[in-house]
Structure 1
Amino acid sequence: ILGRWLWSSRQRTKEMEIAVSRPPSESKAATDSGGVVVPHSVTQHALRAQGSPLMEDLLNRSGAPEDDLENVRQIISQYVTALQNRPGPPIGDNRDLVRALTGRNPLRLVVIPPGHPLVNPAGELMDRWGTPYHLHPLSEKRFEIRSAGPDHRLFTTDDVIAK
């Protein structure tokens, strides 16, 4: 799955670089949800983007909660890999992560598709119990990801943690 997503990310990046490099006369402009004017072809591409297949895996509740956190860790890793040392928006918490993964990043890469059911109205990625994940940056590229567990309270004995 990781290989397929990285390959498709590279393809999308190439398509987006081509679209962005076109002269303004060759592409129409549109405004994304953040109010930024982007070429029409990039906007269309972002709307077609399905996001990472791992996001759909998060909806599958047949695995263990630890599998969910591993998927979130892999999603973050894919995003960091796709940026390839380009400066991206700083990620300090869950909302920052969701903003970056919904296309508000230098590549306009959509990892979490618009309207994904695991993103709450506050713009936070939620665990299987409907509680936002707690992210703690360990470095620029590594995070501790914590699910509050079935009791919905952070830092209790039922929390599930991935680093």
Structure 2
Amino acid sequence: MASLLPLVQDILPMILPASISITKAADILPPATENSASGENVSRVRVISRNAVVDKTDKMCASVLLIKPNSSSPIHHHGEQETILYVSSGKGVLLGPPKDDDEVAQAERRALEQGDFAFVPAWTEHQALNESNEQDLLLVVIRSGGSPVDVNLTTWGGREAKP
């Protein structure tokens, strides 16, 4: 049986041809700024999430999350999906649910900076926060499952937020 393995590895790509899929950066995060009356670039959208690689396989997907200065994502979880976050640029904070059930307890804070990775288990509530006054926080989000699941919450441990 072991002698068949090399043969199967040679034949399988011919039977199940695959193609490489590329998503261009310009198609993921197009410019989201406008010139204000003073000539400065001003963004009206504070948090931008764009799909990068979705519905190519049922095992994983990728998206990009851009968080403008002094902004944050909603408190959310990704359902059954496990998630890896990669900080492509900027600095930020990954907040997790408070350790106590006390409503006044502070969210657990983990600092993030360019090059860092974070693993978020399935069903784990979290929030990405950009406390900078000037620099965007850009995260690459890789999840198990073919397309992203985002469940926004009203608060830590709260109900699902309705759009």
| Larger RCO, structures 1/2 (Cα 8 Å, 6+ apart) | 2
Q: TM-score, normalised by structure 2?
A: 0.26
Per residue, is there more strand in 1 or in 2?
A: 2
**Structure (1/2) with the larger helix percentage:** 1
Larger Rg computed on CA atoms: 2
